[in-house]
Amino acid sequence: MRGHGAERARILLVDDDERNLLAVKTVLDDVADVVVANSGEEALRHLLKGEFAVILLDVYMPGMDGYETAHMIRSREQTKRIPIVFLSAVNKESEHLLRGYAMGAVDYVFKPVDPLVLKSKVAVFVDLFLMRREIQRNAAHEQKLLDATIRANAEKLRVEQELRLAEQRQAAILQSLPIVLYLEDRDANPRIPRFVAGNFKALTGFDFDAVGANPHLWEERLHPEDKDRALAAIASRRGAQSGALEYRWQCADGSWKFFLDQAVLLRDDMGNMAEFAGTILDITERKALEAQLTHSLKMDAIGKLTGGIAHDFNNLLAAVLGGIGMIERRIKMSDDQRRIVDMTRHAAEQGTELVSRLLSFARRQTLEPAHLPIHHLGESVGDLLSHTLGGLVRLDWQLAPDLWPAYADASQLELALMNLIINARDAMPNGGTITVTGENRTLTGSGPVGLQPGDYVLITVSDQGAGIPSHLIDQVLEPFFTTKELGKGTGLGLSMVYGFAQQSGGTLRIDSEVDIGTRVEIWLPRGAPESEVSRRKKEKLQDAVAPRGMLKILLVDDHPGARITTAALLQDMGHEVMEAADGPRMLDMLRAAPQQFDLIISDYAMPLISGAEGIRQAREICPEIPAILITGYAEAASVAGRPADVHILLKPFGAEQFAAAIANAMGRRSIAIAAE
Ligand SMILES: Nc1ncnc2c1ncn2[C@@H]1O[C@H](COP(=O)(O)OP(=O)(O)OP(=O)(O)O)[C@@H](O)[C@H]1O
Ligand SMILES: [Mg+2]
């Protein structure tokens, strides 16, 4: 046992006598490494530093004797188990021996030492020590192995748990996504997946078993308009590495969904291209948003186009009506001639009416929004329509008692409601009830498309008429779209209402089902309460000041025809007019005689400098000189740059409107009123 590799045990030999030390050391050198100490103290120091198989302790030593040393050794935790053999010269009496054993000795060796006895006794302890070490080492090794096994098991468990979690997570994600993953044989015909993962049931409404039961299910449920294209795409995919197609598909509940179906070809174990791995993604919502966007872009584009045309026509009609007015005032006509002129004016006025509807669709109407109590509106519209509706149709107003006022242009809203009600009447040739409701709505998140959060008044007009087929629903808002026979409808009604609602900061929505009926919603922003409104009305009344007599007017217009008609009109009204062909010339005239003019009347859209800018510069010469801007360009934004108290007169206008505008401008002299 002593030959455990290079390892040797150590023995601590304690004796104050050098000769003894040497003698014993010599005897024991081949049993173990002998560490010698001359005193108990030195022995204790050695014991602090290393392990010993046995301690040979001389009983009689000066200072700390053997017993004391043994006591100290026994009382220390690290050393208390080291066997102690006393070396004793004299006393063999049992009393002495007992004391030694009581102090922790395991044996006695008597001096003079018999080398053989000493050697064999010490050898027993050394063997014991080495054996214990060996056992400890083995135990430590086994513990290590055990620990490693436990660690490995724990790691395995953790990995397994993680895997399970990852699988669960993946399944949860797949379940919540509008997606199905599939594997499909390359040449499967009819196509049928071998394997699916994800939320097949939620996506299609079918159990996957249903697909097994009817291999033609996919094909049968394709939208008729998409079928040929989809089948062709699948056929050509078989010859390619990958493919992507979109189609409409009818789910189990009869609803249609838009699917994006993509796949790539995979190699099987043999390296053959044998199957497609693919996904089917529900893109119904995205498609709806796309359609919405396209529609609103289209409406915008049409709006810009019609707006531009309507604006030009408006200017032409203004000149026509102005001319007719002049003829009427200046020429004495026979009855026959007057009839012709009346007819001409009537036609031009109809044209103006048409143009104003177009402008309103293009959101270029000059709106005069006010805080409108809707209840009054019900009465006025009801009165206006009582004759038009006919006996078969009943109008039912259901306005919430606490309905908020709306902030909108009163006459335009009346017009809008009349349009909707007449549409409803036309949709019910056999009569029925048209219901107009008014409700308060507060939008917190995103409400009906495009509306900001806030308070709205929702007015709906519903009928139980013919309804609008779904493929036409996007078109009915377009100008000139009508299903009515020639001469019956212009197709401008809904366009106008739509433009009006949008320009008012609200919107229009249509819900319709064929043979069930139609419901049109107008959303308008909430107005201020009535008390507030009446206060503002009073202020307005105070502003009104009676017009004065003959005025000296500086008239600016780059269009000679328009300028001449306007000047003539002013002269007819008794005013004196100086004409300027553009802004700079107007400013020159003003500089030449700053005190000479009472009023500036200027066209808005002119080259060089705009009417608004011209008036601003004029006021640097003549501060606060009253001014009127004439504009056919009814867009609020374009005249926004004007000084606040400059009155706006819209083309085309009649003599009365002109007179009122002049009175207004003169009356407001020196009262700067902010634009509403
Ligand atoms: N309440 C409704 N029920 C069924 N279809 C409607 C309804 N309102 C509008 N429509 C459809 O929308 C089309 C366009 O309506 P819109 O009011 O813009 O023009 P219109 O009524 O044909 O002509 P206009 O209003 O200029 O006299 C109508 O021709 C009709 O086909
Ligand atoms: Mg209509």
Residue 148: what pLDDT?
A: 94
Q: What are the start-end ranges of the H helices in 523-627?
A: 530-543, 560-572, 583-592, 611-621
The residues near 305 (Cβ < 8 Å, ≥ 6 apart) are none
Residue 638: what pLDDT?
A: 57
Q: What percent of the chain has pLDDT over 70?
A: 92
- Residue 474, φ and ψ in degrees, nearest 5: -75, -25
Residue 524: what pLDDT?
A: 94
DSSP secondary structure letter of residue 189: S
Q: Cα(312) to centroid of ligand 2, in Å?
A: 25
The residues near 533 (Cβ < 8 Å, ≥ 6 apart) are 370, 371, 405, 527
Residue 676: what pLDDT?
A: 31
Residues 328 and 568 sit within 8 Å (Cβ to Cβ): no
- Ligand located closest to 422 CA: 2
Ranges of beta strands (E only) in 192-307 are 193-198, 242-250, 256-267, 273-282
| H helix and E strand count, the chain | 19, 22
Q: Whose CA is nearest to atom 11 of ligand 1?
A: 476
Ligand 1: which of 353, 385, 423 to mutate, most ligand atoms within 8 Å of CB? 423
Q: Between 433 and 174, where is the model more confident?
A: 433
Ranges of beta strands (E only) in 154-229 are 179-185, 193-198
371-386 residues labelled b (16+ CB within 10 A) or e (exposed): bbbbeebbeebeeebe
Q: Between 18 and 642, where is the model more confident?
A: 18
**Does ligand 1 have an atom closer than 6 angstroms to the CB of 314?**
no
Cα–Cα distance, 62 to 473 (Å, whole number): 120
Cα–Cα distance, 567 to 143 (Å, whole number): 114
Q: State yes or no: pLDDT of 379 exceeds 60.
A: yes
**Does ligand 1 have an atom closer than 6 angstroms to the CB of 477?**
no
Which is it for the CA torsion 356, 362, 367, 370, positive or negative?
A: positive
Cα–Cα distance, 266 to 324 (Å, whole number): 81
Cα–Cα distance, 644 to 233 (Å, whole number): 64
For 436, the token pair is 């107009």
For 196, the token pair is 């699916």
Mean pLDDT of all residues in 356-381: 82
Side-chain-side CA neighbours of 381 within 13 Å: the count stands at 23
Residues 437 and 459 sit within 8 Å (Cβ to Cβ): yes
Banded model confidence at residue 12, pLDDT cuts 50, 70, 90: very high
In ligand 1, the atom with minimum distance to the C-alpha of 479 is: 18
Q: Between 300 and 515, where is the model more confident?
A: 515
Cα–Cα distance, 226 to 117 (Å, whole number): 109
**Does ligand 1 have an atom closer than 6 angstroms to the CB of 481?**
yes
Q: What angle do CA 262, 264, 268 make, to 5 degrees?
A: 145
**Does ligand 1 have an atom closer than 6 angstroms to the CB of 432?**
no
Cα–Cα distance, 284 to 236 (Å, whole number): 25
Q: Between 538 and 55, where is the model more confident?
A: 55
Banded model confidence at residue 52, pLDDT cuts 50, 70, 90: very high
Question: Could you tell me if residue 517 is left (phi over 0), alpha (psi between -120 and 50 degrees) or otherwise beta?
Answer: left
Q: Cα(455) to centroid of ligand 2, in Å?
A: 28
Cα–Cα distance, 500 to 489 (Å, whole number): 19
pLDDT digits (tens, 9 = 90+) for 225-239: 999 999 999 999 888
pLDDT digits (tens, 9 = 90+) for 308-364: 888 889 889 988 998 999 998 899 999 999 999 999 999 999 899 888 888 888 877
**Does ligand 1 have an atom closer than 6 angstroms to the CB of 352?**
no
- Ligand located closest to 475 CA: 1
**Does ligand 1 have an atom closer than 6 angstroms to the CB of 478?**
no
Residues 447 and 453 sit within 8 Å (Cβ to Cβ): yes
Cα–Cα distance, 64 to 40 (Å, whole number): 6
